[in-house]
Structure 1
Amino acid sequence: MIVKKIQANFLILLGAIALIPAISFPGLSQLSEAAIQRVIGAGLMSEYPDGSFHGERGITRAELAAILVKTFQLQQRAIVDENAASSLVDVSSAHWAYDDIQWVVKTGIMSGYRPGYFYPDRPISRAEGFAIFTQAYGVLPLGDAEVDRILKRYADGDRVPYWARQAIATALIEELVNLEGTQSISPLQPMTRSDMVYGLYRYLEKQQNPGTIPDFPVD
């Protein structure tokens, strides 16, 4: 009964947002410095020792793991595989993000590129970063048709990797993706700290105003 109610509410949501006219999403450059300070104040990211945020710099897999644990309190989630993290040969107990990597792997939010290897210092692409972020956030039960309709609105929507399509479509609906006022997702470009702070800022906004309908057309 509960499942049917959730499905019904989701269909109502899709119908409602289909009636909303197309808009251009503001990028991080259109947000105030307060957005960065809010994310820092929430303890989700921090400045560098020189006191600058350096939004142009990329995000590594280890950094993403640390951000996800802080943002979504992954320590409180059910463990999918207790032994998954212990088999990682490239993440020693001395690594600064060791505990965070343990949690993202145990909960199934992140995994290695191949058995035993997490590649903690490897930079991530926007497709990977937003897809993993949305995995922790919660992927909407979108069908292939809905995903196609969402992604085709963007010139490079067909460049989103197959494994990330549903998650990226969810991230777009939930307005977590920094598009800088364009119609390009840039899925294969490196994910920057600015991209991440944008998604985090939007997430914090949603926590303050839960249940709002995203301003995103699905038609």
Structure 2
Amino acid sequence: MQRSKPKVLKATRPFLSTLALVLLFPSFSVIAQAQVAQNTEGVSSAAIQQVTAAKLMTNSPDGNFYPERLISRAELAVILVKAFRLDKQEVAKQPKPISVPDVPPSNWAYQDIQIVLKTDVMKGYRGNLFFPNQRVNRAEALAIFAQAYGVFQFSDDAVNEILASHPDAASIPSWARKAIATVVTEGFVNTDAQNNISPLKPMTRGDMAYVLSKYLQRQQPQPETPEVPSITNSPPSP
């Protein structure tokens, strides 16, 4: 199955802080808000309520969901364990922990990070580092979700055909294309007004709520097809 391969980005010191940009360029905050609105487009309050009711995600202590906030790798691990019940898999019950230097047992997400690593749903970086606080973009989050869900083994031609209707399909990293084709096929992806997937934009809580709500809908039992009485040409008995 295709797995996501997150990149370790080299840290750089920004010339201006976000606050400075907002003060110097008032339009900066407007642009940032527009990007968040675009990322969370199509995410309804009903989807958020469905996900919180299922306890796959939670509101903040003040009662707000904050759909515009970004998802970290630790948060993604916790969500996936709940959504797919990864802790019930036999491999997750192995007593020997996986060494993760940057996720000690005192970390709030330690147990769930151990589970996603043991089940091979998420991978560490070189040196067994997990980078729990690193934010994920949409390509990474969707590909990792597909890994837990089960990546469909489409041919390359089928993948290209599935993604062809999305104008920004060319910007999807090659390692994520089959996985994203899977979640697109299943209807798990929220797109913008132009049907863009926006794979390189940050994954927000709202984006994640949309994916999970669609996944939950797929898990609901479908109504049974009523039986149609058979019709015969024989005349009724007298």
Where on the TM-score scale, by shorter chain, does this alignment land: which range? 0.7 to 0.9
Partner of 1:38: 50
Per-residue Cα deviation, 1:35-84 (whole angstroms, up to 9, x for no partner): 21110010100011121100001000000000000000001224289599
Shift of residue 87, structure 1, vs aligned partner: 1.6
Look up the equivalent residue of 1:77 and give its one-letter code. Q
Structure-1-length-normalised TM-score: 0.78
Q: 1:137 to 1:210 in 2, by over 3 A?
A: farther
Paired residue secondary structure (2:91): coil
**Given residue 116 of structure 1, which amino acid in structure 2 is its aligned partner?**
N
Residues 85 and 101 of structure 1 are in contact (CA less than 8 Å); yes or no, is this contact kept in structure 2?
no
Q: Percent identity?
A: 48
TM-score w.r.t. length of structure 2: 0.72
Q: Which of 62, 71, 77 is equivalent to 1:59?
A: 71
- 1:72 and 2:84 matched: yes
The one-letter code of the counterpart of 2:156 is D
Change (3 A) 1:201 1:77: same
Aligned with residue 156 of structure 1, among 149, 168, 179: 168
Segments of structure 2 that go 5 or more residues without pairing to the other structure are: 1-38, 224-238
CA distance in 2, matches of 1:210, 1:144: 31
Distance 1:79 1:30, change over 3 A: same
1:81–1:108 contact (8 Å) kept in structure 2: no
Q: Which residue of 2 aligns with 1:123?
A: 135
Rounded to whole Å, the distance in 1 between the matches of 2:196 and 2:96 is 36
Aligned to 1:197: 209
Q: 2:144 aligns with which of 132, 145, 148?
A: 132
Larger Rg: 1 or 2?
A: 2
1:100 to 95, 102, 112: 112
Contact 2:138/2:199 (CA < 8 Å) preserved in 1?
A: yes
Residue 192 of structure 2 aligns to a residue whose secondary structure is coil
Q: Does residue 1:170 correspond to 2:176, yes or no?
A: no
* Deviation of the 1:31 alpha carbon: 5.3
Assess, with a 3 A threshold, how the Cα gap between structure 1 residues 83 and 168 changes in structure 2: closer, same or farther. Answer: farther
SS of match in other structure, 1:47 = coil
Judged with a 3 Å threshold, the aligned counterparts in structure 2 of structure 1 residues 152 and 85 are, in CA distance, closer, same or farther, namely farther
Distance apart, 1:152 and its partner CA? 2.4
| Alpha carbons 1:81, 1:107 under 8 Å: kept | no
Q: CA RMSD in A?
A: 2.2
Q: Is this contact kept in 1: 2:43–2:190, CA < 8 A?
A: no
